[in-house]
Amino acid sequence: MAIQEISTDQLLLLSEKYPVLDVRSPGEYLHAHIPGAYNLPLFTDEERKIIGTSYKQESREKAIKFGLDFFGVKMRGMIEEVEKILQRFEPIKSTNPEIFITNPDSYEKNSNAVIVHCWRGGMRSASVAWLLNFYGFDVYLLQGGYKIYRNWVLKQFENKYDCNIIGGYTGSGKTELLHGLQKKGHPIIDLEGLANHKGSAFGALGQPPQPKQEMFENLLAEKLNKYSEKTFWLEDESQRIGALNIPHGFWNTMRTKLVFFIEIPFEQRLEYITSGYGALEKEDLINAIVRIKKRLGPMETKMAIGSLIEDNVKECFRVLLYYYDKTYIKGLQNRGNLSVLLNKIDCSNVDAIVNTEKIISCVTVNT
């Protein structure tokens, strides 16, 4: 088929069956990209800089000639790379019958199709699309490129969603409850999982590096779009997760939703926290405590670090847990109409299986 232009909505559907090829430079891709996209850079970061400088300081024609010099020697390698991508690409079985393409029969049958985009849907994507189509691939070209996709991403945070919030003091096992609900068939969005951070001063320990804010937004937007017509679950979070921020529009939505608050005794939560974080490197824990010393207070900071140095990990976390409990109460109460939103669930211990069932029973009563 000829090269076919598609919208962002069409991209989201077609990407379940065909690989998305991001032809921007490696630096652009690493900063943020469409989730699941493969990087097939037309130019390196340095080549892109040379072309941009030539365009600004000399002429469009000179820049194009530089581009042709760089592109020509890469043509065969790019085609072979796409062949490798197609060999390892695993299509997603979609239940969505709406496929907005000219020839719907090709959706199920074509295993030789790819989706191509650059930053604005300009010459980079057009050039790669021409090459791949000339060789024999069927090519879908994203209109407006990644820039238009980003516009779509930002719009998702202004939409209204039907979601429930799992609340609870630090050490209540809220993330485990979230995944317990998922095992029971309830849709979830794990914000901490998307952010690679557990949401406290200690949240980065043992985690991979956090994505850039833009990439976090891309990941979140696609999750929200997936569950736009379903009730899904989230963990109660402050707006900031490590170095990242939950987009303001969606954050405001979260603050208006029912909170199912898991109330577990302090000592049980302390045992849970100590067993989880106690095995981490002492130096890392001390550095994390130092980062919050202004909020924690000088005396509490000294007590926490002193206990840790003396290998009394439990007493260290006792100090920290009092601090985080006060912080959480402040955030919880900073909601309008809290008395209507808050549903407390008494739990005797941090037990994901038992407490998941209690949450489900509580939801049944409230609906």
Phi, psi of 98 (to 5 degrees): -85, 105
CA 82/CA 272 separation, integer angstroms? 48
Question: Among this protein's residues, is 118 annotated catalytic?
Answer: yes
What distances in angstroms separate CA 300 from CA 92, 224, 266, 322, one per listed residue? 51, 40, 18, 10
Can you spell out the DSSP letters for 100-132?
-SS-THHHHH-SSEEEEE-SSSSHHHHHHHHHH
Q: Kindly tell me the burial class for residue 220, based on how many C-beta atoms sit within 10 Å of its own C-beta (0-12, 13-18, 19 or more).
A: buried
The number of beta carbons lying within 10 Å of the beta carbon of residue 248 is 11
Short-list 26, 119, 23, CA closest to 71? 23
**Strands, E, within 122-161: which ranges?**
138-142
Taking the alpha carbons of 282, 288, 290, 294 in that order, is the dihedral positive or negative?
A: negative
CA 196/CA 198 separation, integer angstroms? 7
What tokens does 315 get?
């007493």
Q: Are 190 and 179 in contact (CB under 8 A)?
A: yes
Short-list 162, 237, 165, CA closest to 197? 237
From 118, 163, 316, 362, active-site residue: 118
| Positions marked catalytic | 118
